[in-house]
Structure 1
Amino acid sequence: MILVPLPFLVSLLLVTILFQALRRDGDGFRANPLFTALIAAYALQSILVGLRWGYDLRAVLPVMSPLAALIAPLAWLSFDSLARDDPPLRLAAIAPHLLPFALVVALILLWPDPVGAVIAATFAGYGAALLWRARLGPDGLVASRLDGVLRSHRALQITGVALLASAATDILVSLDFAVSGGTHSGAMVAVGNVATLLVLGAAASVASSSSVEAEANATEPAPDRTVASLPTKADLEIANAIETLMRDKELYRDVDLNLEKIARKLGLPARDVSNAINRTQAMSVSQYVNTHRVKRACRLLRETGEPVTKIMFDAGFGTKSNFNREFLRVTATTPSAYRRAGGDLAATPPVETRQPVA
């Protein structure tokens, strides 16, 4: 009986996450409704799992299987929307991702036996695709706010791993039915739902601009420093143009700033902007922008008596955890300690611009 309430509890928690995030940051969710739909789909699927495995209600299977075939493509589309620097996805781009759903519906009507294998293959394929996209690093999520791009990238990785784990669970359930008639399937499905909750928590953190305290101890991989990553003259020109935007226009103070916005201001592809910063400053775009934000915060801490929280927002940070983490990265101290020291500590370590390739 311990399995009966678990899927329903997971669903309740997911609905709570959804409503709290909508209430706290409704604009963020409306701006990216795909993540809202993703959480809602997982919540509904959890209810169906509870009915199927908790009460052996097989009547939900015609709904449960097609919904499962939608979840992995929806996860892909959600993160794909953060990685696009062109207009939002149109139906023509979404339609191919509806094929697993259409195939499962057709199989349910004509030949139900392969349905489980198709769903497992769908989860495995999209999970691998998400992890492949994650290799581009945080700068690959050009539409994600720079203040939370590291969190978004982590959620992308977690989602990819969880989809692969879900595919593995489906395979184990099929084997369990073949070997023992499904004796252990209920327990395996229940554990899978707990993993789903973790994935959805990550997805919620991506769509919402709310603070995630776990981010405070996160670190971002350093860009490649090999000879192949030395800047070209074009990189230096782009980097100078970006520096002008930051210094003269104070673009970094935009809390919702992302790589796509910077690239649009310059009329350049986002990848060119990212490469220019990576190669000339040996840091990611988010680190570069946050360094400018920290410099402003340092000046305000030295010259004003404004509360630290007000200074945080004035400098362009949207979350306390990210502010503290980036301030520590740049100054090797905390904002409060910096103010107590009267600003005597070095505000920012010098960043040496790398020389162009001959």
Structure 2
Amino acid sequence: MIFIPLPFVVALLLLILLAALLRNQGYARGNRPFLALLALCALQSTIVGLRWGYGIAELRYVLPVLASCVPPLVLASFRSLIHRDRADSAARWLQFAAPPIVMVVLELLAPELIDAALIVLFIGYALAVLNLGRTGPDSLDEARLEGVVAAHRALVIAAVSLCLSASFDLVIFLDFEWSKGTNAALLVSNANLLWLLLLGLTAIVAARAQAVPAPDAEEAATTAAQDREVLDRVNRLLTEQSLFRDENLTLSRLARRAGLPARQISGAINRLERKNVSQYINEFRITEACRLLRETDISVTAAMFEAGFQTKSNFNREFRRVTSLSPAVWRVQNRLSSG
């Protein structure tokens, strides 16, 4: 039977989380620190599995350096949810680069101090992370409002995870002191399983609260002009050819008729009209249904089918969304007013 160390399972789960973020281009664009954190956690978990699952002793030199990169990256990730002056970028770079440099120096000159240095490092950065959110969710002023509370909780949990790692490092250090590392493999695997996975989960929760970076003024103007051109082409199809009457109309079919990518059409409608494609098309249908109800004596059901709707429930729901009235009441009121 093939032996699969638990850290490999953790690495796989972290990679799945990473893929979930990368699938959304908006999240991937604005969440490089969180993406890097997930990738680093997955890499560290894999190295732990190779070191303690398969006994590759040479990797013991790699693990402290990798571990020392995690706390600064956690801090950088949550700092990306806070608006700050970038003038101190050199200091921040030193804040990130110093821990792995210190680990390399200790490996060369004083390897007996590595465990203590990692414990101090993890606790110190945990306190720095907590300090970022000391004033509550409002401190994360670059997070989207709908996700800021969850992001703040993730910040606290991430700080706790760093402290948890420090406590595991202490236990492992004591195990080597008292029993020559008899339980080290089990302790390291379980510690890795718990705190890296916990850190990965908090990273994806916080990453989803990250606002997509706004385009600059020139890019925004270009995008708006392109969106308007797309929307004008779609509107011509819907009005001149009454394409909205097609009860089997889909975004894909609309895109083929317009000669445009479906994503470009949906993006233009979302950005310019603040609606999804279904709502936008249904408003054309409701306009036509209103015309029929006002100008003809056909039944509400007949007007519904003429306008392109297939089900009465969807028709009634959309009619109320657009007019705030039921079709029957709208007909009575508008015929009275027109008379």
Q: TM-score by structure 1 length? A: 0.56
Structure 2 residue identity aligned to 1:162: S
Contact map agreement 2:82 2:140 (CA 8 A) in 1: yes
How do residues 7-46 of structure 1 correspond to structure 2 at under 5 angstroms? 7-23=7-23, 25-46=24-45
Structure 1: any 5+ residue segments left out of the alignment? 211-254, 259-305, 312-335, 344-358
Distance change >3 Å, CA 143–CA 33, structure 1 → 2: same
Paired with 1:2 and 1:77, the residues of 2 have a C-alpha distance of 38
Paired with 2:198 and 2:2, the residues of 1 have a C-alpha distance of 20
Instruction: Give the match for residue 95 of structure 1.
Output: 94
Instruction: Give the match for residue 59 of structure 2.
Output: 60
How many residue pairs were aligned?
A: 223
Instruction: Give the helix-richer structure, 1 or 2.
Output: 2
Paired with 1:53 and 1:17, the residues of 2 have a C-alpha distance of 24
Q: CA deviation at 1:93?
A: 2.3
Q: Deviations over 1:17-56 (max 9, x none)?
A: 1012211x22222212011110000000001111111112
Give the secondary-structure state (helix, strand or coil) at the position aligned to 1:142.
coil
Paired with 1:145 and 1:117, the residues of 2 have a C-alpha distance of 38
Q: CA deviation at 1:91?
A: 4.0
Structure 1 residue identity aligned to 2:34: F
Contact map agreement 1:4 1:53 (CA 8 A) in 2: no
Paired with 2:2 and 2:117, the residues of 1 have a C-alpha distance of 30
Distance change >3 Å, CA 72–CA 159, structure 1 → 2: same
Contact map agreement 2:26 2:212 (CA 8 A) in 1: no
Contact map agreement 1:72 1:127 (CA 8 A) in 2: yes
Q: Deviations over 1:76-108 (max 9, x none)?
A: 111112123434973442213321111111111
- Identity fraction in percent: 38
Contact map agreement 1:4 1:55 (CA 8 A) in 2: no
Q: Deviations over 1:55-76 (max 9, x none)?
A: 1211112221111111111101
Distance change >3 Å, CA 82–CA 310, structure 1 → 2: farther
Instruction: Give the match for residue 276 of structure 1.
Output: none
Contact map agreement 2:10 2:42 (CA 8 A) in 1: yes
Runs of 4+ aligned structure 1 residues displaced above 2 Å come to 1-4, 84-93, 131-135, 255-258
Contact map agreement 2:27 2:208 (CA 8 A) in 1: yes
Q: TM-score by structure 2 length? A: 0.59
Q: Deviations over 1:308-331 (max 9, x none)?
A: x979xxxxxxxxxxxxxxxxxxxx
2:155 is the alignment partner of 1:156:
yes
Give the secondary-structure state (helix, strand or coil) at the position aligned to 2:145.
coil
Structure 2 residue identity aligned to 1:94: W
2:197 is the alignment partner of 1:197:
yes
Instruction: Give the match for residue 143 of structure 2.
Output: 144
Structure 2: any 5+ residue segments left out of the alignment? 215-274, 281-316, 325-339
Structure 2 residue identity aligned to 1:175: L
Cα RMSD, aligned residues only: 3.1
Q: CA deviation at 1:128?
A: 2.0
Paired with 2:209 and 2:78, the residues of 1 have a C-alpha distance of 15
Structure 1 residue identity aligned to 2:121: T
